Amino acid sequence: MADTLLNKPNVKGLSAKDFRSDQENRWCPGCGDHGILNSVQRAMAEMDHKREDYAVISGIGCSSRFPYYMNTYGFHTIHGRAAAIASGVKCANPNLEVLQISGDGDALAIGGNHFIHAVRRNIDMTIMLFNNEIYGLTKGQYSPTSRYGMVTKTSPYGTIEEPFNPAQLALGAQSKFYARSIDTNINLTKEVVKSASAHKGTSIVEILQNCVIYNDGAHALITDKANKDEYQLVIEHGKPMIFGKDKNKGLIMGGNGKLVVVTIGEHGITEQDVLVHDAHTEDSHMHWLLSSMMAPEYPVALGVIRDVDSTSYDEKMAQQIEDIKAISTIKSMDELLNSGDTWVVD
Amino acid sequence: MSQKTKIIEREDVVIRFSGDSGDGMQLTGTQFSDTSALFGNDVATFPDYPAEIRAPQGTVGGVSGFQLHFGHQEVFTPGDYADVLVAMNPAALKSNLKWVKPSGTIIVNEDSFTEKNLEKAGYDSDPLLEDKLADYNLIKAKVTSLTRECLKDSGLDQKSILRSKNMFTLGMVYWMFDRPLKHSEEFIEKKFKKHPLVVDANKKVLKAGFNFAKTIEALPYNYSVAPANIRKGRYRNITGNKATAWGLMAAADKAKLELFCGSYPITPATDIFQELAIHKGLGVKTFQAEDEIAGICTAIGASFAGDFAVTTTSGPGLALKTEAAGLAVMTELPLVIVNVQRGGPSTGLPTKTEQADLLQAIHGRSGECPMPVIAASTPSDCFHFAFEAGRIALEHMTPVILLTDGFIANGTEPWRIPSMSDLPEIIPPIAKEGEDFLPYAREDDRLSRRWAIPGTKGLEHRIGGLEKMDGDGTVSYVPENHQLMSDIRKKRVELVANNIPELKVKGNDEADVLVVGWGGTYGHLMTAVRELQKEGKSISLVHFNYIFPLPKNTGEIFGHYKKIIVCELNNGQFVEYLRGSFYGIKFEQLNKLMGLPFTVVELKERFNQLLEDK
Ligand code: SF4
């Protein structure tokens, strides 16, 4: 199956294979990153950008090796700065399709400042946040998304700091697009990457990624076959938020302003009572509630949680330059040099 | 215009206007300097702002000054000591008296010498009533009341009336130096176009000041400074920061690239960024980043994507940018990093000048991480060296550090406006669709790699901070390859020496003493050396703008002199660097760390000493 999918060319005649570079892949066998790479290459094969128009920018960390495996323009930069570098790339050439790859340490610890400001500015690019809740490349220290109390090499007695929920951070920074997927769900990741790419502005795609070496099973509660249906809620704009093995669970708004999981058919609840997902609403309140849901109390929301129309920074930057060019009286460097008070010595 | 009994011809004159931040001294000084420039004098100016934006009124900390130097000959500095000091309040007098020449003229606004103001300035008693100022030509003018009197029927409110008192002093000084009022009158008409009452008031006060000086014969004689013999052409006044911004824009223009500036505000570099932000009409992209690191990183991203990218900062900001600067070295992307040096370390003296970031610029990165360093030496040549930084960065595919400093950044001087057609074309090695491309293949004599810009079909490639294999650019940990790539990075900077001019000595090739300087000390060193040469002393100057690599004839020049003295506003960074590069040559050194430029007086004293030493 995989091969037929890989070989289906897109409008530009490119298939997923055409996005593979000849570099030897150095991720650990079984690492979630392999699946994400696969998803991204498939997404690209289904999108209509030319290969030379992709710029894949990463920071430092296991996930940040990503550009080397892509047969596109790529830049493996320095720790934490990918968002700033990607911002510069996009502003210099808004025609490029910019994809930023970062891990939870790269984007939220050392690069936290660049992350929130890229989101706030709303630069048209997709930030893929590989969230494995650990530092992998430096061999197993806790990250800003590691669960409270987690024992790692730098927290041998358990961490004493609360983790970030990346979605809350992003929404606080006025994010207009937030999606979430899981490394093993190739198809969902592919779909959200496509939606993210189509969105104008900064799109964040958080991928719950498994680090088989240093944090194996971090997301097991929701990914294990046994629980999967109960703890994953794949949402879609305009569709009721229903989940469960028997498709009989749903979300309603409780009287205390909290979401409540209900069973359709019990206590007089019908499908009509279940909340319908509105990804396009400007008001981020519901998106906050959805993205904050954690198992086992709730299912974890996957798919496009927020997708609000916006104008990107780079568009506005280009537009402002055009507007000022149109009214500016100084049209050339020579005119600038000779502008204002000057005098002639003869 | 005036009928003075005695006119004294002067080679040059230094005037210092000082007052409270709100007294309009910057404007007054600028007006006088523009008028003098139009008259045909050579001029150099330097503003001296208080470090605190809202320092308390009337205190020494809140004094704002503007010094200008105009001459019949070439003028290289704003001058050490003033012939005339204008002090609008006691604090201004207190903080500036030490900068007045013995028997110089001091004009004070007598009205402001109230008990309260004296106390604010920290005077125990009124200096005007004692003989403390007996050695000066003290002119007490009731500037406030005279202005008020002059405008009592103007229809303006008290606040606006008081605001025009700076024009009174300007008028006085114009009379003293036999200057026409025309330029300032036109300036007033233009500036207050929408407020005819204000135009009339300011012009009236200007003339009143002029007439007042004439009536009281403010000077027993009148100075006159004849026009300088200046090269023909069209001129303008320009600050170093503006010239830097324009030089960067000119480089982008000549390279046919768009200019991108990613920066974070920092004193005293912010003006460059602000100036660039104005010129969206010429296509300049400015990006106010969230911090210094993002400033350089957005620029590196823009460079990767094919813009001529720059970032502007001052010392502490450069420190924050160092890791990213290393990435630019590793990826061999063109980039200009402007460092307007200020007093350090840490927050240090943000509004003062120093040259103490030299070794940071040359060496301050992790690993063996060489990049070219050049330095501008006067306000107007910031244009040329910003252009040069761009030319070297783009033609050699390398980050370049341009050093200026707070002194030349804020100073102004007249500048003969170049024509864009006189500037060389800049030709970056941009890879074209269809060519054989390897990310780290090097073809030309500069050992630069080719710039394959995203969007170019068929040249997709990956670069990054990890060591790359020579040629194909894949990640490589091969020991021999790291040696090779390190050697290449070193060689690439050395090869820049083939693309920069050789040094020229000012003065005799075989003089007894060679003065060596670099960057923003040029004006003071040149003035001191020239004055000594006129006195018949055997002394020459060689001044460096290209720091790393050094011009090719540097060693040969040093070989001609027995006594060499390296002067710089730090503890001896350039001299250390020269000692490391030219083993066996003896270098004397002169250093200063006061946040101030050298004075010509102290330079001459030291040089004379060296000339006399056996
Ligand atoms: S250490 Fe973990 S995150 Fe890194 S490559 Fe291995 S499995 Fe993947």
- For residue B350, give every residue at least 6 positions away whose Cβ sits within 8 Å of its Cβ, in sequence order, or none: B51, B267, B268, B314, B342, B343
Does residue A159 lie within any of the structural domains? yes
Can you give the residue range of the structural domain that contains A245?
A: 240-276
- Same domain as B460, residue B544: no
Burial status of residue B192 (CB atoms within 10 A of its CB: 0-12, 13-18, 19 or more)? middle
Ligand 1 atom showing the smallest separation from residue A103 Cα: 3
Does residue A245 lie within any of the structural domains? yes
Does residue B554 lie within any of the structural domains? yes
How many domains are contained in chain B?
Answer: 3
Does residue A321 lie within any of the structural domains? no
Tell me the two tokens of residue A213: 């070496």
Does residue A113 lie within any of the structural domains? yes
Distance CA A127, CA A109 (A): 15
Q: At what angle do helices B381-396 and B240-255 cross, to 10 degrees?
A: 40
- Kindly compute the dihedral angle of the four CA atoms of residues B391, B394, B397, B401, in this order, to the nearest 10 degrees: 50
Q: Which residues of A touch B38 (CB under 8 A)?
A: 343
- Same domain as A174, residue A88: yes
- Same domain as B261, residue B149: no
- Same domain as A224, residue A209: yes
User: Is the four-CA dihedral B449, B453, B456, B462 of positive or negative sign?
Assistant: positive
Q: At what angle do helices B165-176 and B196-215 cross, to 10 degrees?
A: 40
Whole-number pLDDT of residue B8: 78
Distance CA A73, CA A190 (A): 20
Distance CA B281, CA B145 (A): 46
For B99-109, b/e burial (b = at least 16 CB within 10 A) is: bbeeebbbbbb
What one-character-per-residue DSSP string does B62-107 give?
GEEEEEEEEESS---SS-SSEEEEEESSHHHHHHHGGGEEEEEEEE
- Same domain as B378, residue B272: yes
**What CATH number has the domain bearing residue B191?**
3.40.920.10
Average pLDDT, chain A: 95
- Same domain as A267, residue A216: no
CB pairs under 8 A between A and B: 208
- Same domain as A218, residue A266: no
Distance CA B570, CA B572 (A): 6
Whole-number pLDDT of residue A8: 57
Does residue A337 lie within any of the structural domains? no
Whole-number pLDDT of residue A296: 95
- Same domain as A232, residue A154: yes
Instruction: Give per-residue pLDDT as tens, A37-48.
Output: 999 999 999 999
- Of B442, B477, B500, which marks where a domain is finished? B500
Distance CA A204, CA A177 (A): 6
Q: What part of A 58-87 touches B (C-beta under 8 Å)? A: 60, 67-68, 70-78, 81, 84-87
Of A68, A332, A334, the CB nearest to B475: A68
Give yes or no for a contact between A68 and A212, defined as CB atoms under 8 angstroms apart.
no
Q: Which residues of B touch A338 (CB under 8 A)?
A: 234, 236, 417
- Same domain as B597, residue B563: yes
- Same domain as A185, residue A83: yes
Give the closest residue to B325 by CA, choosing from B336, B315, B316, B314: B336
Whole-number pLDDT of residue A5: 46
Q: What element of type H or E holds B373? A: strand B373-375
Does residue A307 lie within any of the structural domains? yes
- Same domain as A71, residue A20: yes
Does residue B44 lie within any of the structural domains? yes
Whole-number pLDDT of residue B226: 86
Are residues B38 and A343, on separate chains, in Cβ contact within 8 Å? yes
What count of residues does chain B have?
A: 614
Give the closest residue to A58 by CA, choosing from A42, A75, A71: A75
- Of B482, B500, B518, which marks where a domain is finished? B500
- Same domain as A271, residue A130: no
Neighbours of B432 (CB within 10 A): 12
Give yes or no for a contact between B174 and B119, defined as CB atoms under 8 angstroms apart.
no
Confidence of residue A1 (pLDDT cuts 50, 70, 90): very low
Q: Can you give the pTM of this predicted structure?
A: 0.94
Block mean pLDDT (10 aa), chain B, length 614: 62 94 90 91 86 76 92 91 95 94 93 95 91 89 95 91 94 92 94 93 96 83 80 93 98 98 98 98 98 98 98 98 98 98 95 96 97 97 98 98 97 95 98 96 92 98 97 96 98 98 94 97 96 97 98 96 97 98 96 95 97 90
ipTM of the complex: 0.96
Q: Which residue blocks in A27-96 are alpha helix, DSSP H?
A: 32-46, 82-92
Give yes or no for a contact between A111 and A137, defined as CB atoms under 8 angstroms apart.
no
Q: How many Å lie between the centroid of ligand 1 and the Cα of residue A67?
A: 16
- Taking the CA of residue A90 and the nearest CA in chain B, the distance in Å comes to 8
Neighbours of A36 (CB within 10 A): 27
What is the distance between the terminal CA atoms of chain B, rounded to a whole angstrom? 54
- DSSP β-ladder status, A242-243 and B12-20: unpaired
Whole-number pLDDT of residue B54: 66
- Same domain as B476, residue B606: no
Average pLDDT in the A75-92 region? 98
Does residue B440 lie within any of the structural domains? yes
**What CATH number has the domain bearing residue B363?**
3.40.50.970
Secondary structure of residue B568 in the 3-state scheme? strand
Give yes or no for a contact between B8 and B223, defined as CB atoms under 8 angstroms apart.
yes
Q: Does B422 touch chain A (CB under 8 A)?
A: no
- Same domain as B218, residue B365: no
Secondary structure of residue B20 in the 3-state scheme? strand
- Same domain as B245, residue B362: yes
Q: How many Å lie between the centroid of ligand 1 and the Cα of residue A208?
A: 13
Whole-number pLDDT of residue A2: 42
Whole-number pLDDT of residue B51: 64
Q: What element of type H or E holds B105? A: strand B100-109
Give yes or no for a contact between B17 and B86, defined as CB atoms under 8 angstroms apart.
yes
- Same domain as A222, residue A175: yes
- Same domain as A164, residue A36: yes
Whole-number pLDDT of residue A15: 93
Distance CA B570, CA B94 (A): 28
Ligand 1 atom showing the smallest separation from residue A62 Cα: 4
Whole-number pLDDT of residue B341: 98
Q: Which residues of A touch B473 (CB under 8 A)?
A: none
How many domains are contained in chain A?
Answer: 2
Tell me the two tokens of residue B100: 């007045």
Give the closest residue to B174 by CA, choosing from B163, B185, B164: B185
- Same domain as B478, residue B568: no
Q: Which residue blocks in B419-478 are alpha helix, DSSP H?
A: none
- Same domain as A295, residue A260: no
**What CATH number has the domain bearing residue B579?**
3.40.50.920
Does residue A250 lie within any of the structural domains? yes
Give the closest residue to A311 by CA, choosing from A131, A139, A124, A127: A124
Of B250, B420, B464, the CB nearest to A75: B464
Tell me the two tokens of residue A21: 């570079």
Residue type, B264: Y
Neighbours of A196 (CB within 10 A): 24
Distance CA A123, CA A83 (A): 10
Whole-number pLDDT of residue A3: 44
Distance CA B45, CA B96 (A): 16
Does residue B1 lie within any of the structural domains? no
- Taking the CA of residue B199 and the nearest CA in chain A, the distance in Å comes to 19
- Same domain as B487, residue B607: no
Can you give the residue range of the structural domain that contains B442?
A: 233-500
Q: Write a three-state SS string for B178-227.
A: CCCCHHHHHHHHHHCCCCHHHHHHHHHHHHHHHHHHHHCCCCCCEEECCC
| B447 Rama sector, left if φ>0, alpha if ψ -120 to 50, beta otherwise | left
Does residue B477 lie within any of the structural domains? yes
Distance CA A247, CA B362 (A): 66
- Taking the CA of residue B370 and the nearest CA in chain A, the distance in Å comes to 18
Whose tokens are 């010239």? That residue is B243
- Same domain as A161, residue A141: yes
Whole-number pLDDT of residue B9: 84
Of A77, A328, A341, the CB nearest to B327: A77
Find which of B235, B298, B420, B456 to mutate to test the A interface (most A CBs within 10 Å of its CB): B298
- Same domain as B237, residue B167: no
Q: What phi, psi does B116 have (nearest 5°)?
A: -65, -45
Does residue A141 lie within any of the structural domains? yes
- Same domain as B199, residue B338: no
Give yes or no for a contact between A72 and A19, defined as CB atoms under 8 angstroms apart.
yes
Cβ of A136 closer than 6 Å to ligand 1, yes or no, is yes
- DSSP β-ladder status, B335-341 and B399-405: parallel
Of A90, A333, A338, the CB nearest to B282: A333
DSSP A285: H
Tell me the two tokens of residue A215: 């944090």
Neighbours of A278 (CB within 10 A): 13
Of A211, A215, A216, A219, best ligand 1 pocket probe by most atoms within 8 Å of the beta carbon = A211
- Same domain as B549, residue B482: no
